[in-house]
Amino acid sequence: MNDKPTRQPSPGMSTLLDRFSFLVPQVEIKETCPYFKDREATFRCCDGMLAAPMYRDLLDDGYRRNGFILYRPECQGCSECKILRVPVADFKKSKEQRRIWNRLDGRMEVRLQRPRASREKLKMYRDYLIYQHGDSDGAATPFSYKAFLMDSCLGGDTLEGEYFLDDELVGVGILDRLEDAISSVYFYFHPDYAQYRLGTWSILYEIELARRWNCAYYYLGYYIADCGAMNYKARFKPCEIKDPQSDAWEQFSR
């Protein structure tokens, strides 16, 4: 059966969470903004084990998953974080994306499984953080790796993709499989293979996976126009964007 799954619009899950606050209590956490270091961010958080049955709807309300925690930014005077998703059936690779895809197509093998830790993956993750984000303080520990990339309130619906290029492990991606969507969680790669644009290749692979699984949407997480680490997501077109405080999705036109 190949009919595309359909869903009814969410009535506003923040209201639903408030209504059931005795079951899913929420807290506010303030910390330095991870995207603009000169700003303070406020995150609304809840126990993902309690809210997991609602997570598909909470995605459309701006929530993301970090291990066992669901969160969304609610920063006073700032609305930079937008939700971005790709309608899978409409997606078309750009000329540059086709070039990146074709360079590795037939050479790359992706093995999907439940998340598993290894010394090789932890080292690759640390090397990636140094290369990609300048994180040289050794903050990535086995505990923080497990909490972020292995723990999940979604159980078996969280999957890990091991990316092998010519039998060499070159990247690892985490995704959540939902009723009619895939939500990308994180991807990291071996810096020695950066010339292959593995981050772009992994997104193209996950969109193809969503198509194969008959998903309607592929969620890339937050889009932030003035943040280079986050605005690349709009290159995967057509795509839709939504303010977490709004009920309406809009076609991204930039």
User: Sign of dihedral through CA atoms 190, 196, 200, 203?
Assistant: negative
- Rounded Cα distance, 68 and 46, in Å: 9
Q: For residue range 138-149, what is the model confidence (pLDDT) as tens digits? A: 579 999 999 999
Predicted confidence at residue 234, as pLDDT, reads: 97
Q: What is the pLDDT of residues 217-238, one digit of tens each?
A: 999 999 999 999 999 999 999 9
Q: What is the spatial distance between Cα 17 and Cα 206, in angstroms, rounded to a whole number?
A: 30
CA-based torsion, 231, 219, 131, 205: positive or negative: negative
What is the pLDDT at residue 23?
75
pLDDT, tens digit, 9 for 90 and up, residues 82-129:
999 999 999 999 999 999 999 999 999 999 999 999 999 999 999 999
Phi-psi region at 105: left, alpha or beta (left = phi > 0; alpha = psi -120 to 50): beta
Pick the range with the lowest mean pLDDT from 11-15, 17-21, 153-157, 198-202: 11-15
Is the per-residue pLDDT at 9 higher than 50?
Answer: no
Query: Where exactly are the structural domains of the chain?
Result: 13-80
pTM comes to: 0.92
Phi-psi region of 167 (alpha: psi -120 to 50; beta: other; left: phi over 0): left
Asked whether residue 174 carries a pLDDT value surpassing 90, the answer given is: yes
At 138 the pLDDT is: 58
Q: Are 189 and 169 in contact (CB under 8 A)?
A: no
Q: Other CB atoms closer than 10 Å to residue 219's CB: what's the count?
A: 25
Q: What percent of the chain has pLDDT over 90?
A: 82
